[in-house]
Structure 1
Amino acid sequence: MLKAIVIDDELFAREELIEQLNEIGHIEVIAECGNAIDGLKQINQLKPDVVFLDIQMPKITGMDLISMLDPDTMPNVVFVTAYDEFAVKAFEDNAFDYLLKPIEPCRLKKTVKRLLAAGTKQDLSPIAQTKIELIPCSGHNRILLLPAQDLEVASIQASGVQLLTKTETACTQLTLKVLEEKTPLIRCHRQFLINPHFIREIKLHDNGTSDIVTQSGHIAQVSRRYLKEIKERLGIQH
């Protein structure tokens, strides 16, 4: 039995797909989400085998969501879309499975059969975006979309990955690895990323440790491993 999450902003479309999957069997729908931000959280928490993902969603699209997932832990994805000639061609060229709305039961049965027989994970890198412009954050009964260019520090905290900008403190479901690869942030410590554009000062301590202070006064730890690289990047010789 495969575990699945259905992500679609249309309630009727979600309910119809879940009903069809229940009738076919072999797949247990463990969660349903009406937007990509909730979907990202549920994928990271529940770690499904497969995600049925709508492409056309407001704010954060299905393609945006693909780019936010860690390739090392990414589930298989079945794309769900109203007919789009270019999107469908991209899926076919890269051998990705897709379902056209309205979903035909016989087509869905073929997809389920293919999923049950799949022995390897998909490589979604050919269609994943190389940069993320907006970072979804949640907490305190609100959802934020922070521009990636505004991020000053990212760090691993007890509550998850914490992001700091000049005016905001928020948590995201994105991993440091994804943030490092797809935003302006660079690694300065195993648990910290820093935006080099916002570095105001590097404090060198007597015990060999260092801290970076940003223009807004945020502090990020710097490990010896990354100090030399950061100095070179800033044109500091010593």
Structure 2
Amino acid sequence: MTQPIRVLIVDDEPLARARLKELLSEESDMAVIGECRDGNEAIDAIGRQRPDLVLLDVQMPEPDGFGVLRAVSREYQPAVIFVTAHRDFAVQAFEANALDYLLKPFDQERFRLSLSRVRERRRTGATELDAELVERLESLSSRLTPASERYATRLVAKVGWRMRFLRVEDIDYLEAEGNYVCVHQGKQSFLTRETMNAVEEKLDPRDFVRIHRSLIVRLDRVEEVEPLAPGEMVLTLRDGTKLTSGRSYRARLQRALDLPS
């Protein structure tokens, strides 16, 4: 007997989650294994439960749907159906089998069409997300989202089996450490399993600047800057920490701190 398709529902609206659950209850080959209210819960649940399909809301409390996709291990990619209330997304008119979208409010017929694409994906053994489609969706989302809402207000670090939420306003600087990023807050430091590029995208450039391929610093923590030759600078933070910038980052550091050329 064929195993049911294991489905994870991710949406910050209780009524939306209930509606999806109700529709799925009428599909004999679908089994709901969990519900998540935000992106952080989704990342954790996908890693632990390995669903076959994720019904993923686009705009949620951080991280949003795209942030969830970026955080999912490339070694494991579930099928994804985006769910959105923004009619602008319909302009994209995707027809990809590996990834679909549902525009709220949607009817049962449209929902079943999305599920048929998931079934086809399973039948053919497709495992890759449509990267081009994700990129188009993310670009559109950026244009629809006010600048003040595009950046994270907290990062997530794993401490043992627990998830620790780190307020961005408390961060002094971030440092690459192997496959992790070490987040420094005062005398404490925490590891988050993300790349420096991914973390940099989450941080508001009005508050943070990358000064080295392995260093990002919060601007209001910088107390003193000492130029070095050739092209490097030593930044002294409020707590006395000294960080050395890379030569190729000199121009962006000068702009960020409004330093003379």
Q: Is the structural similarity TM-score above 0.5? A: yes
Name the counterpart of 1:23. Answer: 29
Structure with more contact order per residue of length (Cα contacts < 8 Å, sep ≥ 6):
1
Which residue does 2:221 correspond to in 1? 198
User: 236, 239, 250: which is aligned to 1:213?
Assistant: 236
Counterpart among 128, 134, 148 of residue 168 in structure 2: 148
CA distance in 1, matches of 2:176, 2:227: 22
Aligned-partner Cα distance in 1 for 2:194–2:170: 16
Give me the whole-angstrom Cα distance separating, in 2, the residues matched to 1:162 and 1:64: 22
Change (3 A) 1:4 1:190: farther
Q: Please name the residue that 2:140 is paired with.
A: 126
Q: State the alpha-carbon separation in 1 of the partners of residues 234 and 45 from structure 2.
A: 34
Contact 1:204 1:211 in 2 (8 A): yes
- Across the aligned residues of Structure 1 and Structure 2, the Cα RMSD in angstroms comes to 4.7
Going from structure 1 to structure 2, the CA distance change for 1:45 and 1:153 (only over 3 Å counts) comes to: farther
Structure 1 portions without partners, runs of 5+: 82-86
TM-score by length of 1: 0.63
Pairs within 5 Å for 1:151-162? 151-158=171-178, 160-162=180-182
Q: CA separation in 2, counterparts of 1:6 and 1:103?
A: 20
- Which runs of 5 or more residues in structure 2 are unaligned? 94-99, 122-128
The TM-score, its normalising length taken from structure 2, stands at 0.59
Q: Secondary structure at the match of 2:64?
A: helix
Specify the alignment match of 1:181 in structure 2.
201
Quick one: structure 1 residues 67 and 169, their matched pair in 2 at CA, closer, same or farther if it must change by over 3 Å? same
Matched residues, percent identical? Answer: 21
Cα offsets for 1:135-186 (capped at 9, x unmatched): 2313225434333343321222146122223465333345422432342322
1:229 counterpart = 2:249: no
Q: Please name the residue that 2:101 is paired with.
A: 97
> Match for residue 139 of structure 1?
158
Q: After the TM superposition, which residues 45-64 of structure 1 pair with which residues of structure 2 at under 5 Å, given as runs?
A: 51-54=54-57, 60=61, 64=64
